[in-house]
Amino acid sequence: MSYPPAPGWAPQGRRLNKPRIHDALRAALALAPAPNGFTVAEFAAKVHGLTGCRDYTVRQAAYDLRKLRAKQLVVLPARSRRYHVPSLAARTIAALLALRDQVIAPILAGIRSPRMGRKPAHWTRVDRDYERIRIDMHTLFNDLAIEIPLAA
């Protein structure tokens, strides 16, 4: 006989930096303003709309929502089938997405690209800060033995 999972049980294996959970976070943030919350089917439809990917199933959506619940980014009120994104969780999701898409991804892309040509004659503070981050990231990757493939 199979027993239901204990309260507080969370599915393993979904990290917030994986593409599928990233799409789930985008969908949750898009559905956050819904006054009555959203269902699993509405969540799956939103992921379809955002990604254009039709192979994301309702079962995967339920799994991803369970993972987001375990991380307290969505809530499911008692005796309800409608999920809600609390305002603090929406701010957290927005910050995670902004950091990943607007900060970390460009820095990592800049680390891979080789430095070609001469440096600019006039550097702004942002240019100097970005170059320092790029150099420090190279040092960090060397210390962690992470190999950086050269851009083609």
Rounded-to-integer distance, Cα 54 and Cα 39, Å: 18
- State pLDDT tens for residues 62-101: 999 999 999 999 999 999 999 999 999 999 999 988 888 8
Does 44 share its domain with 82? yes
- What pLDDT, on the 0 to 100 scale, is given for residue 34? 93
Has residue 80 been placed in a domain? Answer: yes
Contact 58, 40 (CB under 8 A): yes
Whether 68 and 111 map to the same domain: the answer is no
Kindly indicate the confidence band of residue 50, based on its pLDDT and cuts at 50, 70 and 90.
very high
Residue 1: inside a domain: no
Does 80 share its domain with 118? no
Predicted confidence (pLDDT) at residue 115 exceeds the cutoff of 80:
no
Residue 35: phi and psi, rounded to 5, are -65, -30
Residues 69 and 25 in one domain: yes
Shared domain check, 88 and 33:
yes
5 within a domain of the structure (yes/no):
no
pLDDT score recorded for residue 1: 46
Looking up residue 71, the CATH number of its domain turns out to be 1.10.10.10
pTM across the whole model: 0.68
Per the listing, tokens 């990233």 go with 22
63: in domain: yes
12 occurs within a structural domain: no
Six-digit token string for 79 = 């005796």
In a domain, 87, yes or no: yes
pLDDT at site 123: 85
Query: How many structural domains is the chain composed of?
Result: 2
Residue ranges making up the domain that contains 116: 104-143
Contact 75, 69 (CB under 8 A): yes
The answer to whether residues 84 and 134 belong to one domain is: no
Residues 108-129 have a mean pLDDT of 74
Mean pLDDT for the stretch of residues 105-134 = 75
Q: Are 61 and 110 in a shared domain?
A: no
